[in-house]
Amino acid sequence: MRAPMTKILLIGSGAREHAIFKALLRSNESPEIQVFGSTVNPGLSGQAAAYTSGPMTDPEAVVQFAKKSASDLAIVGPEAPLDAGVADALVEAGIPTAGPLKALAQIESSKGFARDLLQEYGIPGSPAYRRFTSLQGVDGFLAELNGHFVVKADGLMGGKGVKVSGEHLSSEKEALSWCREIVDSGSEFVIEEKCVGPEFSLFTFSDGKSVVHSPLVQDHKRAYVGDTGPNTGGMGSYSMPDHRMPFTDESDYRAAAEMNEKTLEALASKTGSPYRGILYGGFMATADGIRLIEYNARFGDPECMNLLTLFEGNFLAAVRGMATGTLDPSSISFRKEASVCKYLVPEGYPDSPKKLFPIDLSAVADCRDLYLGSVDERDGQLLAAGSRTLAFVGTGPTLAEAEAAAEALAVKVPGPLFHRPDIGTSELVQKRIDLIKSLRG
């Protein structure tokens, strides 16, 4: 007898969720996909069985939609609904959910919680840090760190809460005034040791017992070529055919994987609940091993587009397995190819982006590996909505081929958009390799 069709609710409506949507569609069970997003993304709405746009951080609204749609499974894309307790509400309503409960999602929503957890459970790889609720003691700790510090506002800040010495803060005086700004806004903050080295991401699929690690991926946060310009949500990312980074060795990979595993165990022990979803470790390869820079409770954007383009297991089975505590590691595998993701963003992004201009995809012959992000649709016309707009993924047996494939697609879209042609090129990768060589000798 055929199993009944899964009705899966996807929460979120960006390019990451478009990648999740496409991966679910490919999973040979033909699920019915329902979407609760913050916007109407035509990449998803065109094929969704049900679609609503509304407050994704309102657990009641999400549960109401899930009940009306008779959802029997859910996956949460972005962090804000997790922090708002959307997974808790769905689980309470009897809908197994891939996406951690609010208490577990604190690993992302509170930087202080994350550092304390690593310390309490003796998990190595976390830099020296201290939590503050006022300016008391800040002077002394900054002096201890001897000019190498990072100040992080606690809470979900959309990437805007972190300032690094030598990059955003040129003196201890500037650090103090940033701390004062945070305190005045009613938040707490963490000061930690600044680490030096190339960054990479490792995603771990977890059902609370079993884990499967993803290939390593590297994101590019700066807006402009050569890692210059303002910080963004991420302009693009690449991964390698061997699923490692060109600047990591096997002990870096093992250390990162172990750290994710130990953190999942610590979270379960601390909260009494299993972690069901994706744990995203943001790491740095330093002179003496890896350091954990941050944890997130979800897939990365853009890294998700690399991973799910390469995904060749049964993604629906993986989601169901995470959500119900029955993860079968054989449902997850990734093609041994390179991938490059390049985001097209509006001119002026991130500070003053152009908005609501038409997007012309007519020259893009193959939209299979195109993911729509911040877009809108009016009278059948696709419009750019002001943030990261279109993500193109190229894959191939080598990084050069994947890069060329992504670049060939990205240049096909006219209009006031820009992207980073350097992402995935050998010149940029060589800079990472040179950096790690200079650090490790």
Enumerate binding residues for ligand AMP (CB under 6 A): 127, 150, 152, 159, 162, 164, 192, 194-195, 199, 221, 282, 293-294
Which CB sits closer to ligand GLY, 38 or 326?
Answer: 38
User: Quick check: 214 binds ligand GLY (CB under 6 A)?
Assistant: no
Both tokens of 11, joined, read 């929460």
Which CB sits closer to ligand GLY, 108 or 377?
Answer: 108
165 closest CA partner among 156, 173, 157, 175: 175
User: Quick check: 296 binds ligand GLY (CB under 6 A)?
Assistant: yes
Contact pick of 88, 219, 252, 422 for ligand GLY (by CB under 6 A): 219
* Distance, CA of 203 to chain centre: 9
User: Quick check: 300 binds ligand GLY (CB under 6 A)?
Assistant: yes
User: Quick check: 207 binds ligand GLY (CB under 6 A)?
Assistant: no
User: Quick check: 192 binds ligand GLY (CB under 6 A)?
Assistant: no
d(CA 400, CA 404): 6
DSSP 173-229: HHHHHHHHHHHHTT--EEEEEPP-S-EEEEEEEESSS-EEEPPPBEE--EEETTTEE
Selection from ligand GLY, ligand AMP, none that 236 binds (CB < 5 to 8 A by kind) is none
Omega before 246 within 30 of 0, i.e. cis = no
Which CB sits closer to ligand GLY, 31 or 424?
Answer: 424
d(CA 59, CA 126): 33
H/E run at residue 391? strand 390-396
What is the smallest separation between the CB atom of 109 and ligand AMP, expressed in angstroms?
12
d(CA 424, CA 343): 12
What is the smallest separation between the CB atom of 304 and ligand GLY, expressed in angstroms?
8
Dihedral of alpha carbons 172, 201, 339, 81, sign: negative
* Span of 296-304, 347-355, 379-387, 395-403 interacting with ligand GLY by CB under 6 A: 296-304
Which CB sits closer to ligand GLY, 39 or 296?
Answer: 296
Which CB sits closer to ligand GLY, 377 or 422?
Answer: 422
d(CA 439, CA 430): 14
Selection from ligand AMP, ligand GLY, none that 337 binds (CB < 5 to 8 A by kind) is none
Which CB sits closer to ligand AMP, 102 or 194?
Answer: 194
User: Quick check: 77 binds ligand GLY (CB under 6 A)?
Assistant: no
Strand partners, 206: 211, 277
Which CB sits closer to ligand AMP, 237 or 331?
Answer: 237
User: Quick check: 301 binds ligand GLY (CB under 6 A)?
Assistant: yes
User: Quick check: 303 binds ligand GLY (CB under 6 A)?
Assistant: yes
What is the smallest separation between the CB atom of 381 and ligand AMP, expressed in angstroms?
35
Selection from ligand GLY, ligand AMP, none that 211 binds (CB < 5 to 8 A by kind) is none
User: Quick check: 97 binds ligand GLY (CB under 6 A)?
Assistant: no
Residue indicated by tokens 């707009």: 389
Residue indicated by tokens 């609503």: 52
Selection from ligand GLY, ligand AMP, none that 350 binds (CB < 5 to 8 A by kind) is none
- The count of C-alpha atoms lying within 13 angstroms of the C-alpha of 63, restricted to the half-sphere facing its C-beta, is 16
DSSP β-ladder status, 162-164 and 289-296: unpaired
268-298 as b/e: b if 16+ CB within 10 A: bebbebbbbbbbbbbbbbbeebbbbbbbbbb
Selection from ligand GLY, ligand AMP, none that 234 binds (CB < 5 to 8 A by kind) is ligand GLY
Both tokens of 129, joined, read 């840090």
User: Quick check: 234 binds ligand GLY (CB under 6 A)?
Assistant: yes
Return residues touching ligand GLY (CB under 6 A).
219, 234, 296, 300-301, 303
